[in-house]
Amino acid sequence: MAETSKTSSSRSEKVNNPANAGYEQNFTNAELPYGDLENSLSKTVGVGGVGSTQRRLNRRHVTFIGLGGGIGTGLFIGTGAALAKAGPAGLLMAFIVVGAVIWSVMEGLAEMATLIPQAGTFPHYATRFIDPAVGFTLAISYGYCYTIAIASEVSAAALVVSYWTDITPALVISISLALIFAINIMHVKFFGESEVVSASIKVICFVGLIFVSLVITLGGAPNHDRIGFRYWKNPGAFTNYNGITGSKGHFLGFLSALINASFSFIGVETVVIAAAETVNPHKYLPKATKRVTYRIAIFYILGALLIGMIVPYNDPALSSGTGNANSSPWVLGIKRAGIPALDSIINACILVSAWSAGNSYCYIGARIIVAMSIDRQLPQIFKKTNKNGVPYWAVIASFLFGPLAYLSLGSGGAAQAFSWILTLSTVAGLLAWMTLSICFLRFYAACKAQGVDRNSLPYKGRFQPYAAWVGTIGSLLITLLSGFSVFLKGNWSSSNFVANYIGIPIFIVPFVLWKIFKRTSFRKASEIDLWSGRFDPSEAPEDHPPTTWWGKALDWAF
């Protein structure tokens, strides 16, 4: 049994291992090119990653990528619309439910990524553990989720700048896109450093907002008004959604907040995408994943609670659709308390969040494209890298979706473009969460069938396989309910229906086409490859723990 748990990079050991018998016969290059993938591993010098990307992201980079992931415009601005639709209790419940779903997804995902840190990560796991057709459709769905989200965040940046000036949005969009492309085409350490700076700003801002909100609710603001849970009583804890009173209206309000909460959480999983470029994924990824628990509790759930305490859900500015600080519940609460100047500071943080999210999405989209190329689902040119390990063709392909932001200059305006892209990317993200949870269930079954003791792995996900089932079912239900409002009496809208549900056929059609033309088959648990592409910790450079009290404090906290 101990032999089956050893990390091995040689084909001979995989073939001779009884748990992996028949590996050569069951996985052909046409179906899943592990031979090429392993060659890529062996040709990469020193700490290189799959597809000749390089392991250059250290402890600090991974820490801040994990911290900053998911803290975007959805958390600063989008929560306002959710509060208006659901009320403070409905908003809080939505964040708790979605928080439980993404936590469940992350537990399984981290176990796989820590053991097998491949470029692109997500579609590769679907290809390896379920079926190449599932890997292809996940790559398409998750890839477009993030590449079009570049446009949504850049559009949001244009909206945020409008808080200060009436400068043309086209200029803001152009500058934002230029910066995003420049950072992603350079050495991956530049991306890591940009995440350190932007994540620091976002975290400091958000923690500051939490403290300010506590001061406001306790009566420490200039108006000395002790609010407490006043707004939970008047106008109330729940809304009457669409004029429907009673528990039914309250429940529908809660459902309406789920999609906004999901958009806020998407991005938490970003840290796992960087697994193939992390210096020591065995050490850094488990730590980053374990910290997800309290990040969800502090940044999202506590934030949702405080938002409902500092501003009532019937404030008309919450649903004004300005897309900048004017519709941020944090700013509205601060203005109500009579605190000056903070609104511009918060708007600046929102601007950093929007740009940072777009920057991350370009990185993620490029690595998904690399994964597709490695798995021979896209031309091999996309896995080509320069001397710094940057997959430049993949970066260019990912970035090309960014100019969709210019659609916000049309008749519908930036707010409408942002709304449509938000919905499209959120549904795609939820379907990706569902698929990743299924990946873990197949990984779990393979470990059981092949006699691999999960206690011997670098990281063992908690509450498995039950957590994976929560991730699978929860993500699917939220996806199916995302557009429920169009089915209510008098609410039908063809454009909203398409925006809410077009992501489902986009997910299904590539799977069907790949199955038909490639004739792939689902992986049997006894034949799933658990060996190739594992990380060899002896390749990692020596780790230097922090020595200063400040560094030790940050290391403990994050």
d(C-alpha 131, C-alpha 543), whole Å: 37
d(C-alpha 127, C-alpha 139), whole Å: 10
Query: How many Cβ atoms from other residues are within 10 Å of residue 90's Cβ?
Result: 28
Q: Which of 31, 40, 27, 66 is nearest to 296 (CA)?
A: 66
**In DSSP terms, which residues pair with 278 in a beta bridge?**
57
What are 209's two structure tokens? Answer: 């907002």
d(C-alpha 119, C-alpha 193), whole Å: 20
**In DSSP terms, which residues pair with 57 in a beta bridge?**
278
Q: Is the dihedral of CA 414, 368, 296, 62 positive or negative?
A: negative
Q: Which of 155, 205, 159, 160 is nearest to 345 (CA)?
A: 205
- To the question of domain 46-522 being in CATH 3.30.465.10, the answer is no
| pLDDT at position 41 over 70 | no
What are 312's two structure tokens? Answer: 């009532």
d(C-alpha 243, C-alpha 230), whole Å: 23
Q: How many helices (DSSP H) and strands (DSSP E) are in the chain?
A: 24, 0
HSE (CB half, 13 Å, CA atoms) of 207?
9
Confidence of residue 461 (pLDDT cuts 50, 70, 90): confident
pLDDT digits (tens, 9 = 90+) for 301-331: 888 898 888 888 888 877 655 555 667 788 8
Start-to-end Cα distance in the chain: 35
Confidence of residue 356 (pLDDT cuts 50, 70, 90): confident
User: 167-171, 210-214, 513-517: lowest mean pLDDT where?
Assistant: 167-171
| pLDDT at position 517 over 50 | yes
Q: Is 278 helix (H, G, I), strand (E, B) or coil?
A: strand
pLDDT digits (tens, 9 = 90+) for 159-210: 778 778 777 888 888 888 999 999 888 877 777 788 788 888 888 888 888 8
| pLDDT at position 126 over 70 | yes
Q: DSSP label at 406?
A: G
Q: DSSP label at 233?
A: I
Extract the runs of DSSP E, i.e. beta strands, from 383-472: none
Extract the runs of DSSP E, i.e. beta strands, from 114-186: none
HSE (CB half, 13 Å, CA atoms) of 303?
31
